[in-house]
Amino acid sequence: MYRTPLIAAVVATGLAAGALAHGGATGIVKERMDAMDAMGDAVKSVTPMMSGAAPYDAETLRAAARTFREHSGEAMTTLFPEGSGGKPSEAKETIWSDWEDFAALAEQLGRYAEGLEAAADNGLAGSAGTGAMMGGGGMMGGDGTTGGGAMMGGGAMMSAEHIAEMPADAAFAMTAQVCSSCHERFRTKAN
Ligand code: HEC
């Protein structure tokens, strides 16, 4: 049951954050909040099927993966010009002092999203016919226990190909963990 805590974390990331008002943000800060919200909505669109509350649909997951990818990497980092922190933004100043780590996480999101799009066809770990994939799922649980900190070091970073071989729910959890890792480190806990 490695999935449950990860998915719970994802829901907390996507839903709680999305519910916050933009606080009157304008310009590039509003732009990046909108981009983040689009990703939050994408998370919301797949969470029910990951928890079994809705039937699994590969295309819905692929669409979410494309949304993550669209807003990852440089598309994301260009929305964080130096000096754009401060209220109403929740961006921490460490984004600019630790820029390489921040940019690496934005890149990682793109890579994992690419893998996730391909993994959509694998179905969920618990479903019939994906027994062979369980190895990947178990391994993923191992990574989860090392925590976000270890992933940040880059050592545990996986390739898109590797993510693509995972059951869809494991691939989704891995991708969503990139969101959480970056938020834990680079976003203030506002309110
Ligand atoms: C590379 C770092 C990074 C990654 C990866 C990342 N985020 Fe964010 N996210 C941030 C930062 C920083 C903020 C705060 C932006 C601000 O307030 O200026 C934020 C804010 C948000 C918000 C609140 C937006 C608002 O309206 O205030 C949501 C929702 C969100 N992110 C969802 C996601 C989701 C979902 C993912 C993954 C699919 C994700 N983020 C990936 C750094 C990241």
pLDDT one-digit tens code per residue, 127-159? 644 444 444 444 444 344 334 433 444 446 899
Residue 92: inside a domain, yes or no?
yes
Q: Is residue 27 a part of any domain in this protein? A: yes
Ligand 1 near 79 CB (within 6 A): no
Nearest CA owner, ligand 1 atom 43: 182
- Radius of gyration (C-alpha) of the chain in whole angstroms: 16
d(CA 97, CA 86): 15
**Residue 48: inside a domain, yes or no?**
yes
Q: Which domain holds residue 10?
A: 3-186
Which residues, other chains included, contact 79 with Cβ-Cβ below 8 Å and sequence gap of 6+?
Answer: 28, 31, 32, 35
In a domain, 168, yes or no: yes
Distance CA 168, CA 11 (A): 17
Ligand 1 contact, 105 CB (< 6 A): yes
Q: Which residue has the higher pLDDT, 6 or 191?
A: 6
**How many other C-beta atoms can be found within 10 angstroms of the C-beta atom of residue 106?**
21
Instruction: Please check whether residue 191 lies inside any domain of the structure.
Output: no
Between 48 and 5, the higher pLDDT residue: 48
Tokens of 59: 């295309």
- Domain total in the chain: 1
Q: Is 179 in the pocket of ligand 1 (CB under 6 A)?
A: yes
Specify if 81 maps to a domain: yes
Is residue 119 in some structural domain? yes
Nearest-CA residue for atom 25 of ligand 1:
33
Ligand 1 pocket mutation pick from 92, 183, 186 by most atoms within 8 angstroms of CB = 183
| pLDDT-above-70 percentage for the chain | 72
Global pTM?
0.82
Is 173 domain-assigned? yes
Q: Which residue has the higher pLDDT, 20 or 37?
A: 37
**Each residue's pLDDT tens digit, 75-132:** 999 999 999 999 999 999 999 999 999 999 999 999 999 999 999 999 999 664 444 4
CA distance 103 to 81: 12
Q: How far apart are CA 136 and CA 166, in angstroms?
A: 5
